[in-house]
Amino acid sequence: MSFTEIVFYAFSAIMVVAALGVISARNPVHSALSLVLTFFATAAIWMLLEAEFLAITLVLVYVGAVMVLFLFVVMMLDINITQMRAGFMRFLPFGILVALILAVQMILVVGPANFGLDVAGFASPVEHAADYSNTKELGRVLYTDYVFPFEIAAVILLVAIVAAISLTMRRRPQTKYQTPGKQVMVKKEDRLRIIKMQTEEKQ
Amino acid sequence: MIESMMSFVMPIWEWLPMWIQVLVTNVFFIVIIMVPLMLSVAYVTYAERKIIGYMQVRIGPNRVGPRGWLQPIADAVKLMFKEIIIPTNSNRFLFLFAPMLSMGPALAAWAVIPFADNIQLADVNAGLLYILAMTSMGVYGVIIAGWASNSKYAMLGALRSAAQVVAYEIAMGFALVGVLMAGGSLNLGDIIDKQAGGFFNWFWLPLLPLMVVYFISGVAETNRAPFDVAEGESEIVAGFHVDYSGMAFAVFFLAEYANIIMIAALTSLLFFGGWMSPFGSYADVPLLGNGFHWFVIKTMFFIYMFLWIRATFPRYRYDQIMRLGWKVFIPVTIVWIFVEAVMAVMQIGPWAV
């Protein structure tokens, strides 16, 4: 077994165990942390595929930002664990069925046959030379061949941001807030009044 | 002597499998980077106490060793022998795991830092992204520590810190986008090569607003004063590490200083030419030419800036921190990226391709 294979199987094992941990951990915080570990192992496997841009972006976006906010929410909510796990065994067969359907769909859509790869042997993709830059290749394709889908995706995200903010924003007139512009513009004359008066006799 | 030792060692070395050779050499290089780094972390704590001491017209630590030079060693020994108290009802595993999580990323990011021309552990194509990913990981230590302590104060500190780090990370990321546009690469070595030619060719000049935003965001990211609301003593005691004692606390403390050195090193790499000499035309003169010492000097200067800022500014109020991050820094970076894009199209400045 070559070193690459050892690395691959090690990270695959971590990924599968951590993914099981996500759905089986008793504590929601542990579930979220298992998901972080799953992302990490996935990133390592993508790294083996020389997809370093995707791997690092996965860590940067999902681990560094999305999961932080997830943890944030999970920690704030006081989730009743026993209530959440009440129907676990009852819904297990249904869950397994859904998972199987999902797996079949994924294999049909992103299976090796769709990318002109060897179906039977699951051969690893061709290795590139040391000066091959995945980031550069990805950028080139994204901004030439797929520029319109890329921009449409960006617009959809922007709409989602605007929608999320406008749905949750509440204007509360009674709250006090500062206007830093006004604060900076304040002059001495606005605040200070100098009164001329006679000195008073000492009492 | 060395000859005979080499003739004895080399066959054994070559007999070992390839991956063990790679592993051993890498571990060796990691140790070479880590040991001086940990020593400088220890002495940055000493420098901080001494420098802030002088700024406040007092002397600072001067009892242990000559002029107090052994103070960090004494502190480390003291902290090692103190008891680590684990609060009841805390999550034991996560409580002890959190300090490691905050230390790990701070050290892992050093893998791609170029110390001098072609001297770096890993020459990664997407080095800048890797650094961004690693620095964004540091917040986990804080959040998990706050949650696992099972304490209200720790929890509040963790939540504050998480919101703050996520906010400033965006500005930081945008500032780095500006750097990679100017450098034309994500590789740190290439970014430094693009800054060749002396003081006025470094990126600080064309990217001045981004440099300022990056450094201030770095101060906020490391939870340093004046952005240290995560541990604001006056409101929430000590924030996320209020329940930590002994070595578990010390690891948090060291991670904070490791992050400071990291941000200082990155500022000098990305905006101040890293190991490039400020005297571009004297490249042949020893010590004035390019070299590792310039990187060290620049990094030390920015570490000093951290301490200087801490000694100078009062702590921000929480809503003002959020305002600065979201409403000031992010617009500034977006505007400057736009300016850069326009200049790149017009073929002006370092963006002319």
Nearest chain A Cα distance for residue B296, angstroms: 28
What is the pLDDT, as a whole number, of residue A160?
94
What is the pLDDT, as a whole number, of residue A14?
93
> Which residues lie below 8 Å from residue B41, measured CB to CB, with a gap of 6+?
B254, B257, B258, B261
With an 8 Å Cβ cutoff, are A64 and B129 in contact?
A: no
Nearest chain A Cα distance for residue B141, angstroms: 11
Alpha carbons B96 and A165: distance in angstroms, whole number? 37
Of A169-183, B22-36, B268-282, the range with the highest mean pLDDT is B22-36
For the segment B49-62, the average pLDDT, to the nearest whole number, is 89
What is the pLDDT, as a whole number, of residue A157?
93
Residue A82 pLDDT more than 80? Answer: no
Digit-coded pLDDT (tens) for A86-108: 777 788 888 889 999 999 998 88
For the segment A2-18, the average pLDDT, to the nearest whole number, is 88
Digit-coded pLDDT (tens) for A43-74: 988 888 888 888 888 888 888 888 888 888 88
Nearest chain A Cα distance for residue B125, angstroms: 7
B260/B10: higher pLDDT: B260
Binning chain A into helix, strand and coil, the percentages to the nearest 5 are: 70, 0, 30
Digit-coded pLDDT (tens) for B209-264: 899 999 999 888 888 878 887 776 667 777 777 788 888 888 888 888 988 999 99
- Would you call B163 an interface residue with chain A, using a CB distance cutoff of 8 Å? yes
For the segment B257-278, the average pLDDT, to the nearest whole number, is 87
What is the pLDDT, as a whole number, of residue A84?
66
Number of A/B CB contacts below 8 angstroms equals 74
> Which residues lie below 8 Å from residue A47, measured CB to CB, with a gap of 6+?
A55
Alpha carbons A62 and A43: distance in angstroms, whole number? 11
A3/B302: higher pLDDT: B302
Burial class from Cβ neighbours inside 10 Å (0-12, 13-18, 19+) for residue B198 reads middle
Residue in B closest to A59 by C-alpha: B133
What is the pLDDT, as a whole number, of residue A69?
82
Token reading at B254:
């060291």
- Would you call B136 an interface residue with chain A, using a CB distance cutoff of 8 Å? yes
Given a contact cutoff of 8 angstroms between Cβ atoms, the answer to whether B82 and B245 are in contact is: yes
DSSP for A169-200, written as a single string: ----TTS----HHHHHH--HHHH------PPP
This prediction has a pTM of 0.84
Q: How confident is the model at residue A148 (pLDDT cuts 50, 70, 90)?
A: very high
Residue B189 pLDDT more than 80? Answer: yes
Nearest chain B Cα distance for residue A126, angstroms: 19
Give the residue from B93, B186, B221, B321 with the most A CB atoms within 10 Å of its CB, the best one to mutate.
B186
- Would you call B158 an interface residue with chain A, using a CB distance cutoff of 8 Å? yes
What is the pLDDT, as a whole number, of residue A78?
67
Which uninterrupted H or E stretch holds B312?
A: helix B292-312
For the segment A158-180, the average pLDDT, to the nearest whole number, is 85
